[in-house]
């Protein structure tokens, strides 16, 4: 049903770290099947699972060598079909992750291209004299192939060559992949780095710089998305595109209310408020003024246009939010609940990333050998080459590495957090002795139970799923407040982003407390307090 996603919540699974069913230390499809009832208990409607297709795993599956087959490391096609069916029986649907900006260099198309087959060379982006672009993971974005005397574009790793969407054959191939999974019963799709697929014309004439930046929101982007959606008939399904560094104007089109493109987009502006001068590999406390400004612009702008946002703090590329904008020490529980409420009651569809509902924290690795992620290990080298000390480089990785979110899911306080009976591919966070599903199930006041309440509130309260949104002036930079209104109903959300008591001025609200993490008053807020009041 179209629009059902407005009152629904999505759960994201990073398959490699979720649950290992066969003791090889790697999460898998049968592990997901074992935990479907747990996911169901959260009240979510959709499950986005990161890629488990055939892949040499240079970027943990975001380098696909066969879009229609399951990587044996994760299971079989029968397991996958059973997983889809079993979720369906529980009234939940899977969203599969389509990595269509690039393939693996081990995909048969690229192998043929490398062998000099002109038909397949035109599936990719080969040039004689490309501009000096850098890639997202560090180093050049073009790789020279001596046998062809040409360079190919890879906005990410050299093992992830970019596809040429200007070639209609490529677009047809990719539509076929979507149709294939749709026929298997998948209920929606997430499209990886989608706003990079349409490359600029006359590439070779462009200056040196960040390749990814030059390829964002390219000349045919809307045309290609519309074609993909209409030709595969996915307009009625839940679809989300990963749209980094884009603008409000573009996103209004990407998720336009006519439904010609996607249901919603992932944007990342709010997750750059702790980047010094826009750089990820830096340390900076979050700029709350900027955070409020970004949410105000995007929420109110999208609302006015009738477009829709994906709401999230965490995913497999982001550090853990409680460590990042909260306080994982003294106010662990309070700050995790405040951050969750802030996101879940906004206008859009919330995404919960595995373990976020437990208040899982950053990994706190202390040695470079503990990291597995290609971006983290590359940037460690780059930082060291640029004179950053070992201690500083490790401190930056400890705050920014993608592996912070990829440590295994903490099911129990026991061996390997109940994730595997073998040796986990990435170390388990030692704090699983305190933070685990088992521990939180026993605590009625747990973060886990609080997330269940938030998911339920969205389903039960139309002002939250459908209402207008407006940011309020709390007279205090540390307290961000907004209201959601529909008919006579007004829901006011007040969030203290600081570890101190904070005074609120100028917000008048009387009514029933819908949810909160203290039994406080909205005039004086306790550390990381959140208070949600319904006026009707
Ligand atoms: C997206 C994915 C990320 C991956 C990249 C390249 O940003 O979320 O994990 O490395 O695309 O596919
Ligand atoms: Ca396994």
CATH of the domain at 522: 2.60.40.1180
Name the nearest CA neighbour of 536 among 483, 496, 494, 495.
Answer: 483
Mean pLDDT along residues 264-281: 97
- Distance linking the first and last C-alpha atoms of the chain: 29
pLDDT digits (tens, 9 = 90+) for 410-446: 999 999 999 999 999 999 999 999 999 999 999 999 9
Residue 3, pLDDT > 70, answer yes
Atom index in ligand 1 nearest the CA of residue 63 equals: 12
Positions marked catalytic: 192, 242
Q: From the centroid of its chain, how far is CA 279?
A: 19
Q: Quick check: is 160 in a domain?
A: no
Ligand 1 near 403 CB (within 6 A):
no
**Closest ligand, as measured to the CA of 423:** 2
Residue 398 CB–ligand 1 contact under 6 Å: no
Q: What is the CATH number of the domain that holds 284?
A: 3.20.20.80
Indicate the top mutation candidate among 95, 101, 156, 310 to test ligand 1's pocket, ranked by most ligand atoms within 8 A of CB: 156
Residue pair 124/145 in contact (Cβ under 8 Å)? The answer is no
Query: Could you tell me if residue 386 is inside a domain?
Result: yes
pTM over 0.95: yes
Three-class DSSP category at 515: strand
118 and 149 fall within a common domain: yes
155 in contact with ligand 1, CB cutoff 6 A: no
Among 359, 383, 400, the domain boundary falls at 400
Domain count within the chain: 4
* Residue among 222, 296, 310 at smallest CA distance from 266: 310
Contacts of 490 (CB under 8 A, 6+ apart): 463, 483, 484, 509, 511, 534, 535, 536
User: Residue 102 CA: which ligand is closest?
Assistant: 1
What does the block give as tokens for 199? 């490359």
- Residue 163 is assigned to a structural domain of this protein: no
Q: Same structural domain for residues 227 and 321?
A: yes
Q: Which is the closest atom of ligand 1 to the Cα of 402?
A: 9
pLDDT exceeds cutoff 70 at 1: no
Ligand 1 near 440 CB (within 6 A): no
pLDDT band at 520 (very low <50, low <70, confident <90, very high): confident
Percent over 90 (pLDDT), the chain: 98
Pocket test for ligand 1, best of 193, 211, 314 (most atoms within 8 A of CB): 193
pLDDT level of residue 308 (50, 70, 90 thresholds): very high
| Average pLDDT taken over every residue of the chain | 97
Going edge to edge, which strands form the sheet with 142-145?
A: 126-127, 150-153, 142-145
Contact of 92 with 45, CB cutoff 8 Å: yes
Helix, coil or strand: residue 490: strand
CATH number for position 145: 3.90.400.10
Q: In percent, how much of the chain has pLDDT > 70?
A: 100
Same domain, 121 and 263: no
**Would you say residue 162 lies in a domain?**
no
Q: H/E element holding 525?
A: strand 524-525
Q: In terms of domains, do 33 and 85 share one?
A: yes
pLDDT interval class at 2 (50, 70, 90): low
**Which DSSP string corresponds to 253-287?**
HHT-TT-SS-SEEE--GGGGTTSBTTBSSS-----
User: Rounded to an integer, what distance in angstroms lies between the CA atom of residue 58 and that of residue 226?
Assistant: 31
Q: Residues with beta carbon < 5 A to ion ligand 2? A: 20, 22, 24, 26, 28
- Is residue 32 included in any domain, yes or no? yes
What is the model's pLDDT at position 185?
98
- 299 and 392 assigned to the same domain: no
- Do 529 and 480 lie in a common domain? yes
Of the three residues 358, 383, 400, the one that is the final residue of a domain is 400
Are 18 and 354 contacting, i.e. CB atoms less than 8 angstroms apart? Answer: yes
Domain check: are 355 and 448 in the same one?
Answer: yes
Query: Do 470 and 346 belong together in one domain?
Result: no
The string of pLDDT tens digits covering residues 391-412 is 999 999 999 999 999 999 999 9
Asked if 474 contacts 505 with a C-beta cutoff of 8 angstroms, the reply is: yes
Q: Phi and psi (nearest 5°) for 80?
A: -65, -45
* Residues with Cβ within 8 Å of residue 220, at least 6 apart in sequence: 165, 166, 198
Half-sphere exposure of residue 421, counting CA atoms within 13 Å on the CB side?
4
> Would you state the structure tokens that stand for residue 384, as one six-digit string?
């060291």
Q: Is the pLDDT of residue 218 over 80?
A: yes
Rounded to 5°, angle at Cα 402 from 283 and 373: 120
Say if residue 154 is exposed, middle or buried (CB neighbours under 10 Å; 0-12, 13-18, 19+): buried
Mean pLDDT of 229-238: 97
Spatial distance between the Cα atoms of 154 and 113, rounded to a whole number of angstroms: 14
Length of the chain: 536
Rounded Cα distance, 27 and 42, in Å:
20
Of 351, 395, 405, the residue nearest 373 (C-alpha): 405
Question: How many angstroms from the chain centroid is the CA of residue 295?
Answer: 17
Tens-digit pLDDT profile for residues 339-382: 999 999 999 999 999 999 999 999 999 999 999 999 999 999 99
Give pLDDT, residue 158.
Answer: 98
Return the axis-axis angle of helices 390-400 and 374-385, rounded to nearest 10°.
150
In a domain, 242, yes or no: yes
What number is the average pLDDT over the span 108-134?
Answer: 98
Instruction: State which residues form the domain around 126.
Output: 108-153
Q: Which helix (H) or strand (E) holds 462?
A: helix 462-466
**Among 284, 53, 305, CA closest to 186:** 53
Whether residues 342 and 228 share a domain: the answer is yes
User: Could you tell me if 44 and 77 lie in one domain?
Assistant: yes
Where residue 522 falls among pLDDT bands split at 50, 70, 90? confident
| Residue 130: inside a domain | yes
Question: 206: closest CA among 127, 279, 101, 277?
Answer: 127
Predicted confidence at residue 521, as pLDDT, reads: 79
Dist CA 22 CA 26 (whole Å):
8
Tokens standing for 376?
Answer: 């983290």
What contacts 24+ positions apart, CB below 8 Å, involve 272-279? Answer: 274/324, 274/325
Alpha carbons 472 and 493: distance in angstroms, whole number: 9
Q: Do both 202 and 62 map to the same domain?
A: yes
Shortest-distance ligand to the CA of residue 18: 2
420 closest CA partner among 50, 49, 17: 17
Instruction: Give the residue from 336, 339, 310 showing the smallest Cα distance to 244.
Output: 310
Q: Is 59 in the pocket of ligand 1 (CB under 6 A)?
A: yes
Pocket of ligand 1 contains residue 62 by CB under 6 Å: yes
> Which residue matches tokens 């969407």?
165
Looking at residue 15, its pLDDT comes to 98
Task: Tell me the two tokens of residue 240.
Answer: 């989300």
Q: Between β-strands 93-98 and 66-70, what pairing exists: parallel, antiparallel or unpaired?
A: unpaired
Query: By the 8 A CB rule, do 122 and 156 touch?
Result: no
What is the average per-residue pLDDT within 250-256? 98
Q: State whether 226 and 141 are in the same domain.
A: no
Is 392 inside any structural domain?
yes
């Amino acid at each position: 049903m179209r629009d059902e996603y407005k009152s629904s919540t999505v759960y994201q699974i990073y398959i490699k770290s979720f649950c290992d069913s066969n003791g090889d230390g790697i999460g898998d499809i049968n592990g997901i099947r074992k935990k479907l009832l747990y996911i169901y208990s959260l009240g979510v409607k959709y499950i986005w699972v990161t890629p488990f297709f055939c892949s040499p795993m240079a970027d943990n599956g975001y380098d696909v060598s066969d879009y229609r087959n399951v990587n044996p490391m994760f299971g079989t096609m029968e397991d996958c079909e059973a997983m889809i069916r079993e979720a369906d029986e529980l009234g939940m649907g899977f969203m599969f992750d389509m990595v269509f900006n690039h393939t693996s260099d081990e995909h048969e198309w690229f192998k043929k291209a490398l062998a000099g087959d002109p038909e397949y060379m035109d599936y990719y982006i080969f040039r004689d004299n490309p501009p000096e672009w850098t890639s997202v993971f560090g180093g050049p974005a073009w790789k020279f192939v001596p046998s062809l005397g040409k360079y190919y574009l890879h906005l990410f790793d050299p093992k992830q060559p970019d596809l040429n969407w200007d070639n209609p054959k490529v677009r047809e191939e990719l539509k076929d992949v979507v149709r294939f999974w749709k026929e298997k019963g998948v209920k929606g799709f997430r499209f990886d780095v989608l706003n990079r697929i349409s490359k600029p014309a006359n590439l070779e004439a462009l200056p040196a710089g960040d390749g990814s930046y030059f390829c964002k929101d390219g000349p045919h982007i809307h045309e290609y998305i519309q074609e993909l959606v209409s030709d595969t008939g996915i307009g009625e399904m839940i679809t989300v595109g990963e749209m980094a560094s884009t603008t409000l104007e573009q996103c209004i089109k990407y998720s336009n209310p006519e439904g010609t493109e996607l249901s919603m987009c992932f944007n990342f502006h709010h997750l750059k408020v702790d980047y010094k001068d826009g750089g990820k590999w830096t340390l900076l406390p979050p700029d709350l003024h900027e955070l409020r400004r970004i949410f105000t612009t995007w929420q109110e702008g999208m609302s006015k246009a009738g477009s829709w946002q994906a709401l999230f703090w965490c995913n497999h590329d982001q550090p853990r939010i409680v460590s990042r904008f909260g306080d994982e020490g003294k106010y662990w529980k309070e700050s995790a609940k405040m951050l969750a409420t802030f996101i879940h009651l906004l206008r859009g569809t919330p995404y919960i990333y595995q373990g976020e509902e437990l208040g899982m924290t950053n990994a706190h690795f202390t040695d470079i050998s503990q990291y597995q992620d290609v971006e983290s290990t590359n940037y460690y080298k780059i930082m060291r080459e640029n004179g950053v000390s070992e201690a500083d480089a490790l401190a930056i990785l400890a705050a920014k590495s993608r592996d912070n979110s990829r440590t295994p899911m903490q099911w129990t306080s026991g061996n390997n957090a109940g994730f595997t009976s073998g040796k986990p591919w990435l170390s388990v966070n030692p704090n699983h002795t305190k933070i685990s599903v088992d521990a939180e199930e026993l605590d009625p006041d747990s973060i886990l139970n609080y997330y269940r309440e938030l998911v339920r509130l969205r389903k039960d309260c139309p002002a939250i799923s459908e209402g207008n949104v407006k940011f309020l002036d709390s007279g205090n930079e540390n307290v961000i407040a907004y209201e959601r209104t529909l008919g006579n109903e007004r829901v006011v959300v007040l969030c203290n982003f600081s570890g101190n008591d904070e005074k609120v001025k100028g917000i008048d609200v009387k009514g029933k407390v819908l949810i909160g993490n203290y039994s406080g008053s909205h005039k004086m807020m306790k550390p990381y307090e959140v208070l949600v009041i319904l006026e009707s």
